[in-house]
Structure 1
Amino acid sequence: MKKNARQIMEIFEALDATECVYSAAQLAGVDPKTVRRYARMRDMGLAVDAPIVRPKMIDPFMPKIEEWVERSQGRVRADKLHERLQMLGFTGDERSTRRAVAKAKERWNACWLPLKIVMGLPLTMVMSGDEESPLVGFQRAG
């Protein structure tokens, strides 16, 4: 369960006071692993309230999925890609494949949708996504 800001501050105060993970855990009323995790995040300079991104089973196969989506111009079906991925050794669920294919198609569509310009209507550029994979698009202003 994610801790709120007050609980996190209590963990840090207990850790600073005792300088021992186990003692701080007892004072704060949490598991020692929780104290250790927050202490590591603080020591590395990471935001303690940032979402934790865990590796997924499909991550090693994402380049292949993106290649297949691009080759099919975004028309490939996720169930067919799942069958191909199983032949390559993917043991995950079909739902994981559907999520990954949807993400790859979203990226592909954002990059390759044709831009239709209507005279007299201004367009504004819209950017979204994250730093590693920004998505750029256009929308009508107004």
Structure 2
Amino acid sequence: MKDALETVKILAAYDLTKSLRGAAELTGCSHHTVQRLLVERDAGRAPGAGPARERVIDPWLPKIEDWVEASHGRIRADVVHEKLARMGYTGSDRSTRRAVSEIKAAYRRGNRRAEGRHYLPHA
């Protein structure tokens, strides 16, 4: 897999030459690589990111969001995992911790206090 800088160079070479083989020759990669990156770019995906895969926790996210909202962002991930396991969730505790962390971060972004209210340093 190409890193971001190589990907940009490959796509720029294609934009310059309008040729898969020409871009491949300029950048030292296969014309198949150039074609794959172009298809990803034209589809609106970040080149090299790969397809989004469904996670085992995805069907449970609305329930976790409800619990985070009800607890005002205070519920712990281990408590969420225990509740989900009792409801039939078969994923790992690590997946639960990651999802709870993402949901809590989103909750905090949406529930901030007014700008500057309690965050000003003491003079």
- TM-score (normalizing by structure 2): 0.60
Call closer, same or farther: CA 1:70–1:6 in 2, change over 3 Å: same
Return the structure number with greater helix share: 2
Within the candidate set 16, 36, 44, 2:18 is matched to: 16
Question: Which moves more between the two structures, 52-61 or 66-75?
Answer: 52-61
| Alignment-derived partner of residue 54 in structure 1 | 52
The structure with higher relative contact order (CA 8 Å, sep 6+) is 2
Identity of aligned residues (%): 32
**Structure 2 CA distance for partners of 1:47 and 1:53, relative to 1, 3 Å:** closer
In the TM superposition, what whole-angstrom CA distance separates every residue of 1:28-83 from its partner, at most 9, and x where no partner exists?
42483x43431223323x37569667345123322111101112232222112112
Q: Distance in 1 between matches of 2:31 and 2:118?
A: 48
- What TM-score comes out, normalization by structure 1 length? 0.54
**What secondary structure does 1:54 align onto?**
coil
Partner of 1:29: 29
CA contact (8 A) 1:124 1:140 kept: no
How big is the alpha-carbon RMSD for the aligned residues of Structure 1 and Structure 2? Answer: 4.0
Q: Which stretch shifts more, 79-88 or 50-59?
A: 50-59
How many Å separate the matches in 2 of 1:138 and 1:17? 58
Shift of the 111–48 alpha-carbon distance from structure 1 to 2, 3 Å rule, reads closer
Query: 97-106 or 85-94, which moves further after superposition?
Result: 85-94
Partner of 2:18: helix, strand, or coil?
helix
Residue aligning to 1:7: 10
